[in-house]
Structure 1
Amino acid sequence: MAWRNSAPRRKITVRCLNMWIKRKPKNRRLERGNVLDVKLRAKEIRAARLRLATTAVGLSLGTVMGLYLLWRVGDWALDEFVFNNDAFAIRELDIQTDGSIPVEQLRKWAGVRPGDNLLALDLNRVKDDLELAPMIQSVAVERVLPRTLKISVIEREPIARMKMLQLQPGGGLELVSYYLDKSGHVIQPLPACVDTISLNGDALPVLSGGNAAEFLPGSAIHSPKVSAALRLIAEFENSPMAGLVDLKSVDVSGTEVLQVTTGQGSRITIALDRLEDQLRHWRLVYDLGKNMGKAIGTLDLSVTNNAPAIWLEAAPAPPLAPKPNSASPNRNKHV
């Protein structure tokens, strides 16, 4: 019985071993095929990625080279057909000014020469160079194709002057006049640029008592007293007192007041504000004194009510000083 039972067991064992031995070679072939297939796909993916990267790099380099060549060609075309083209060379320089600066001086400051290329010219550079001159308020520069450059200059109009001592290069001191426009910009005109026909400096009111350190040519003075004095001088021409008296000098050294001296010998104290009301009050006092046959000696208009005044016996009034002639627009012109 024991032998009979062991025989089937041996058969089963042998059969299982045979099945395992037969199946193992078959599984190895399948595994080897799968490995080869995975390696093949990985190589294809790497090759595809390499081709894509190469194509991208080539396109990028081609685009950069194309843009560079296009830029170089465009730059060459601009130089050849525009900036170096004699058809756009400046032949006419039209300079106009409303003041007294000679045209040749403006041409020198502009730094523009006949033959310069009109399109290559930096208009902002010309404008900035001209506006560096203290006498110039603003400049407009315009191209008029094909060969004309137009420059329009607006000069500062002085309404007051201040005399200051200035050290000369050769030694010694000289009394130099600085001029102020209504915005407070300091002007020191060159002797060659002063036109005595359009600008009679001696007829302008003298500003005294200011801080000499603030009087820098080309810069603006921001002192409240100087600003008030310039407003007074500017508004005086359209005030009720215009044509009756002259403003000879304005002293700004006082505290919160201006000391005005007229060409007729009157001394008027004026507050920094309420200029229009004070000028109107001045006219009322002037008319009152005229009716009494008196002239104003001193008058304190800084007092709101009951302005103190000292009367003088009326005398023949001296003639009014000639007013500076306003320069006519476009008086200086060169084409």
Structure 2
Amino acid sequence: MLRKLARLLRINRRLHRENENVLRVKLRTDQLHAARTRFAMQVLTVLFGAAVVLFLGWRGVDWAVREFVTENPAFATKTIDLQTEGVLTVEALRKMAGVRVGENLMSLDLARIKRDLELMEFIQSAAVERVLPDTLRIRVTERVPVAQVVVLRPNSAGGYVAVPHLLDATGHVMMPPTRTMVADPTALQIDWLPALVGVNPVDLKPGRQVESTQVRAALKLLAHFERSAMFGRSDIRRVDVSGLEVLTVTTSTGGEITFASHRDFDTQLRRWRAVQDVATQQSKVISTLDVSISQNLPARWVEASSVPAPPAKPAKPAPYRRKNA
């Protein structure tokens, strides 16, 4: 009986110790969980506080920028200093730029103004800058036409109308400006421009560059002609680009000069000048001449007295003379 009682006491003490161990483990687990919860709350509090500070700072900076810069009456645009060496009026350019007096100078998107101007077919480049406190300065370089292409387009009456397209030296296509766009009405005259014939109308997209290699070669020939010794001694009125690797030039006297479109134009122009000098000495006028080959130039000329006097060359309008001066 005593042994049984002793065994029960031992079992009871063991169970008591085990319960104490379980309670201690549970206490430590609860304490760890509480510590983690407090840490998480502290982190969330710090993050929330930082977010509040950042938001208030951002709103404060935004308010300061609007109050002191973008909505400040002191930065209202009072002057739009717009200059160009071309033929377009200041008012036309201002409308293309999309700016007006009174807008806040600091809130203007200068990149957008520059992009909008350079998207215009008449404009080659534009520079835009702020001049504090109230001036917007715009400098424009316009495209100068060097040739024209006349295309027949159908009209509403069922017929066709001749529509001129202008090309600058780089082959960019322009439509002629309207009267309200130019300050000098003489700038509307285009009869002084050489005509390119044989051009595919599909290639003529206003504001885009012509892709035809023959058209580009013709424009290059015109540029070399103006710098050559033939300039002033003859006049190019038309360039036919429909040939294969050749350009056929028609002069004001009706002569036809054939150039190789893929060879050096300066050399070919010197050949033309040499033959022109011989013809002048013999009182003759060139009827046809092929300078695309290097030797034994095929040429045909007629008596100068048998050729009607060429019509007077249309004068280049004054605005373009100033541009090229």
1:46 aligns with 2:33: yes
**Letter of the structure 2 residue corresponding to residue 218 of structure 1:** G
What TM-score comes out, normalization by structure 1 length? Answer: 0.86
- What does 1:188-207 align with in structure 2 at a 5 Å threshold? 188-192=175-179, 193-194=181-182, 195-197=184-186, 200-207=189-196
Gaps of 5+ in 1: 1-12
What residue number does 2:18 align with?
31
Gaps of 5+ in 2: none
Select the structure with the greater relative contact order (CA < 8 A; seq sep ≥ 6).
1
Alpha-carbon contact 1:135-1:156 (below 8 Å) kept: yes
How far apart, CA to CA, are the structure 2 residues paired with 1:166 and 1:92?
A: 43
How far apart, CA to CA, are the structure 2 residues paired with 1:75 and 1:218?
A: 40
| TM-superposition CA deviations, 1:143-201 (whole Å, max 9, x none) | 10100001111100110011223445687543232110011011112221343445752
What residue number does 2:304 align with?
314
Alpha-carbon contact 1:245-1:320 (below 8 Å) kept: no
What residue number does 1:214 align with?
203
For residue 107 of structure 2, give the secondary structure of its aligned residue in structure 1: coil
For residue 83 of structure 2, give the secondary structure of its aligned residue in structure 1: strand
Structure 1 position 123, deviation (Å): 1.3
For residue 202 of structure 1, give the secondary structure of its aligned residue in structure 2: coil
What residue number does 2:171 align with?
184
2:84 aligned to which of 97, 101, 107 = 97
2:293 aligned to which of 292, 298, 303 = 303
Check 1:108–1:80 CA distance in 2 against 1; reply closer, same or farther (3 A cut).
same
Structure 1 position 297, deviation (Å): 1.0
**Letter of the structure 2 residue corresponding to residue 128 of structure 1:** R
Aligned length: 317
**Letter of the structure 2 residue corresponding to residue 108 of structure 1:** K
Alpha-carbon contact 1:90-1:148 (below 8 Å) kept: yes
Alpha-carbon contact 1:247-1:263 (below 8 Å) kept: yes
- What does 1:234-245 align with in structure 2 at a 5 Å threshold? 234-245=223-234
Structure 1 position 321, deviation (Å): 5.0
**Letter of the structure 2 residue corresponding to residue 288 of structure 1:** V
| TM-superposition CA deviations, 1:222-279 (whole Å, max 9, x none) | 1011010000011111123122111110011122211100112210111111122211
For residue 40 of structure 1, give the secondary structure of its aligned residue in structure 2: helix
1:280 aligns with 2:273: no
**Letter of the structure 1 residue corresponding to residue 262 of structure 2:** D
Structure 1 position 105, deviation (Å): 1.0
What residue number does 1:294 align with?
284
1:255 aligned to which of 206, 224, 244 = 244
